[in-house]
Amino acid sequence: MLRKKERCRLKQLKYILISLLFCTFSYSFISEQPTTQAFSAQTLERGAYGDDVIELQARLQYIGFYKSDIDGKFGYSTYWALRNFQEKYGLPIDGLLGQDTKKKLVGVSDYDKEFVHDQINKGNSFTYYGGIDLDKQVKNKKEESTNMQLPPQYSEKDLKLIANAVYGESRGEPYEGQVAVAAVILNRVEHPEFPNTVSEVIFQPLAFTAVADGQIWLEPNERAKEAVLDALNGWDPTENAIYYFNPETATSKWIWSRPQIKTIGQHIFCS
C-alpha cells in the first residue's frame, strides 16, 4: 500500500519536474531574443511615427540599408531601405515591419537605445552605422526639429513660423479660432494679392499685430502647434477668409468694408 503511494508521489514529482523543465526551456527560448521585445507588437508601415520607427531606422542604418536622418518618421527613405532589407534576407517584400521582419532585423543588427534617444533629445546630428565608433558619428547640434509629420508641400520652418504667429495673435482664442488664424495665413500664401511664401506673408508690414508688437517671438505651446498642423492638413474654419480683425480693437476703417464670413471667438473673418 505504501509502495503504491510512494510510486504515485514519484509520478507526481516527475510531472512537476517535466513542467518546470518545459517552463525553463520556453523562458530561455524567449529570452534568447531580448531585442525583439524592444519593438512593440505593432506592425509598422509608411506614415508611422515614434520610438518603433526610431529603432527601425537605427537598426537599418547599423547594417547599411538606411542613410537618411534617424528621426522617427516612417517616410519613403525608410520604406525603400526596409524593402531592400527584406529583399536581401528573402523576406516578403512589402515595406511593412511585421513580426518576421522584426525578428530577422533584430538578429542581424544592434541597437543602442540610450545612445540614439540621447542624441535625438539633444537635437544632435548623428548617424548609427555599425563598426564605427559611436562618438565619431555625432556632429554639431542640428536645427531644432518639431518631430511632426507634415504634408509634403510644407516644411517644419513653415509650421514653426505659423505656430509663432498663431500663438502671438490668438492664444486666448478657442482651438477653432487658432486653426482659423493659421488657415488665413495659408489662404494668403495661395492668394494673388499676397506674397507667395509663409514668411513673406507673416512679416508683411502692417499685416499682423503680433509682428508689430513683438509677440511673434513668444514660444508657442503644443496647442498652437496642433492647430497649425490641422490647418496644414486642410482644415479651414474660416471658409476661405484672407483677413480677420478684432472689432473691439480694430482701427482701420477699410477692414470693415471687407465682406464678412463668420465670427469665431473675438475675431471676425473676411474675404
Partner 1 sequence: MKKIIWVIVSTVAVVFLVYHFSVQSQNNRLENALAVQYSNQLTSASEKLTKLTESVDQTMLFTDKEALEQPLDDVWRISSDIRTSISALPINNETSAIWMNYLNRLGNGAAQVKDGKVPIEEWQKNMAGARENLQELSNQWAFTNKDGGSKDYIVKAFVQNKLDQNGEKSWKSLGNSVKAYTESDFPMTASEADQQKKKDLQHIKDADITSAEAKEKFFKLFPEFKDAKIHITESSQDAPYPFYHIQFHEGIRIGYADLTKKGGHLLSFLMERPFEKTTITVQQMKDKSAEYIKTLGFTDTEMVEYRENSIAWHLSFARKAEDNDALIYADGIQLKIAKDNGELLGLNAMEYIQKEKIDKQKIVPIDKAELFSSNFSVEEERLAYVENKQLQQRLAYQLIAVNESIGTYKIYIDTENHEILHAEKLP
Give the binding site for partner 1 (CB under 8 A): 42-50, 67, 73-77, 80, 147-153, 174-176, 179, 192-196, 200, 204-207, 226, 229-230, 233-237, 239-240, 243, 252, 254-255, 259-263, 270-271
Residue 132: CB minimum distance to partner 1, A: 20
Residue 110: CB minimum distance to partner 1, A: 24
What's the count of helices (H) and strands (E) in the chain, helices before strands? 10, 5
Residue 226: CB minimum distance to partner 1, A: 7
Cα–Cα dist 217/164, whole Å: 7
Cα–Cα dist 220/237, whole Å: 21
Residue 191: CB minimum distance to partner 1, A: 9
Q: Which is nearer to partner 1, 72 or 168 (CB)?
A: 72
Q: Which of 60, 100, 104, 99 is nearest to 82 (CA)?
A: 60
Residue 190: CB minimum distance to partner 1, A: 11
Q: Which is nearer to partner 1, 32 or 193 (CB)?
A: 193
Cα–Cα dist 164/220, whole Å: 5
Give one DSSP letter per residue of 8-48, joined into a string: HHHHHHHHHHHHHHHHHHHHHHHHT-GGGGGS-SPPB-TT-
What is the radius of gyration, based on Cα positions, of the chain?
28
Q: Which is nearer to partner 1, 7 or 163 (CB)?
A: 163
Q: Which is nearer to partner 1, 115 or 266 (CB)?
A: 266
Q: Which is nearer to partner 1, 58 or 97 (CB)?
A: 97
Cα–Cα dist 170/153, whole Å: 25
